[in-house]
Amino acid sequence: MYPFIKKLFLFSILAVLACQPVAAQQNQSREDLQKAQKQLQKEIDDLNVTLDGIRKNKKQSLSQLAIVQRKIAKREQLVNNINHEVHRIDDDIFTKEIEENHLKKELDTLKQKYAQSLVFAYKNRSSYEYLNFLFSASDFNDAMKRMMYLKSYRQYRETQAQAIVKTEDLLQQTIGTLNYNKIAKNNALKTQSSQLQVLEQDKKEKDQVVKNLKDQENDVVAQLKKRERQRQDLSRAISAAIRREQEEYQRKERERIAKLNAAEKASAAESKNAVVTAPKIPTGSKIKSNDPVTGVAGTGSGAARPYSTFETTPEGKEMSINFENNKHRLPWPVAGGYVSHEFGIHIIPDTKLHEQNDGIFIATPVGTSVRCVADGDVISIIDMGESQAVLVQHGKYFTTYSNLSSININKGQKVSAGTILGKASVNLEGTGEVGFMVSDKNGFTDPVNWLKPR
């Protein structure tokens, strides 16, 4: 009887201790979910403040639509986050209910065994029966065993009492945690219900904005056409600047190869034992090489890389690699703000209107400092008429910062990550905005894939 109760008691203690790390992990996860909810709610509140500011001007429908769509996306994330929290609380409740039932059964068993031991002790309570039990032993060893048995039996009853007290405490703690989880679940469900109602309101607002866009289609079309002209003008200017830079790199490389050829010829003439001299590269010919890094046969080492004119120097190669290694970790060009226009082609809902963006546009207050995202060289400052743009080279990669009202750097200047390039200007709709693009020889890519998550 005694070994069974002892094992049961130890098992209950170990089971509770084993559950504690799991509970700690679940509580930590719930804290992470709640932290994410607060962050999402803050972003939604900031979007509402911006939206209130542009509702006064009916011509700002495109910005209003972008904000409402982003707010809906954030609200849906918030609802999903709360849903995850509810599921996690359900798991906690299920675990605690199992633990509660186990402790109740264990407590009933302990009380039953303890009652039996008390009845037995009561029936054998007299000193005569105690002595009779000892003196009825067959020999001295048997008597010692009987004494040890009586001593162990007294300890067993004490252990039973302690086990009952500890099990009752554990049961009360489990019930308390279970009640807390049920209250937390009810609160989460109420919050989720209210957020779903607000989400429906946001969707209705989006429908109203789209309707306004359709009613003002002529103004919106004119605005989209102007944005498209700006996009094409900036794209051509970027391509021209990169082409000029590439031609300059090729010219310098031809000069370097020519000097190498001349030096080898001079060395061969002096030694008079050269078998083969390095061939000249005709002016205007495309530089090819067995070495994909330097562009020169027999030089360079390391993993093979696709040939790029802009990596014919160690500095250019190093800049490229540094830029690549920081993918998904580059800092944002402005502090705060939100993406008002995303990369790619986007169709305005319920209309035939669409816009194309070679990068992203970040809504930010006018005059906000715009910073470079990586070490590089300023190869062009582009005048866009009402604003300016800065093109920075990072080896074979390029970043462009557009819609700047002022410029703080000069062409040809070396810049570092965090260098202030200029200030944010006003866009066509009268709000602050900065354009940011990332490109290479294959064209423009989504800058969000290079920037660190917010």
Q: What is the pLDDT of residues 219-276, one digit of tens each?
A: 777 878 888 899 999 999 999 999 999 898 888 888 888 888 888 888 877 776 544 4
* pLDDT(194) > 80: yes
Average pLDDT, the chain: 77
Q: For 386, which DSSP code?
A: S
400 band by pLDDT with thresholds 50, 70 and 90? very high
pLDDT for residue 241: 93
Query: Chain-centre distance of CA 155, in angstroms?
Result: 58
3-state secondary structure (DSSP) of residue 267:
helix
Q: For 397, which DSSP code?
A: E
Measuring CA to CA, which residue among 156, 162, 105 is closest to residue 1?
156
Look at 325 and 135; give whichever has higher pLDDT: 325
- Tell me the β-bridge partners of 421: none
118 band by pLDDT with thresholds 50, 70 and 90? low
438 band by pLDDT with thresholds 50, 70 and 90? very high
Q: Which residues contact 146 (CB under 8 A, 6 or more apart)?
A: 133, 134, 137
Domain over 338-449 is classified CATH 3.30.43.10? no
Torsion of CA 126, 128, 129, 134, to 10 degrees: 130
Give start and end residues of each alpha helix (H) in 124-139: 127-135
pLDDT for residue 359: 95
447 band by pLDDT with thresholds 50, 70 and 90? very high
Look at 282 and 402; give whichever has higher pLDDT: 402
Whether the CB-CB separation of 354 and 347 falls below 8 Å is answered with yes
Measuring CA to CA, which residue among 98, 109, 103, 101 is closest to residue 22?
98
The two tokens of residue 124 are 């054998």
The two tokens of residue 185 are 């679940």
Full DSSP string of 142-154 = HHHHHHHHHHHHH
Whether the CB-CB separation of 178 and 28 falls below 8 Å is answered with no
Which residue ranges does the chain devote to CATH 2.70.70.10? 338-449
Measuring CA to CA, which residue among 416, 445, 451 is closest to residue 333?
451
88 band by pLDDT with thresholds 50, 70 and 90? confident
pLDDT for residue 389: 96
Handedness of CA 342, 346, 350, 353 (dihedral sign): positive
- pLDDT tens, position by position, 39-83: 777 777 777 776 676 666 555 557 777 788 888 888 888 888 888
Query: What is the average pLDDT across 155-163?
Result: 68
Measuring CA to CA, which residue among 136, 164, 166, 165 is closest to residue 149?
136
431-450 CB burial, b ≥16 within 10 A, e <16: bbbbbbbbbbeeebbbbbeb
Per cent of the chain over pLDDT 70 is: 73
Query: Chain-centre distance of CA 236, in angstroms?
Result: 34
pTM: 0.61
The two tokens of residue 273 are 């034992």
Q: Mean pLDDT: which of 3-17, 126-140, 434-448 is highest?
A: 434-448
* pLDDT(396) > 80: yes
1 band by pLDDT with thresholds 50, 70 and 90? very low
Q: For 51, which DSSP code?
A: H
Measuring CA to CA, which residue among 340, 332, 339 is closest to residue 428?
340
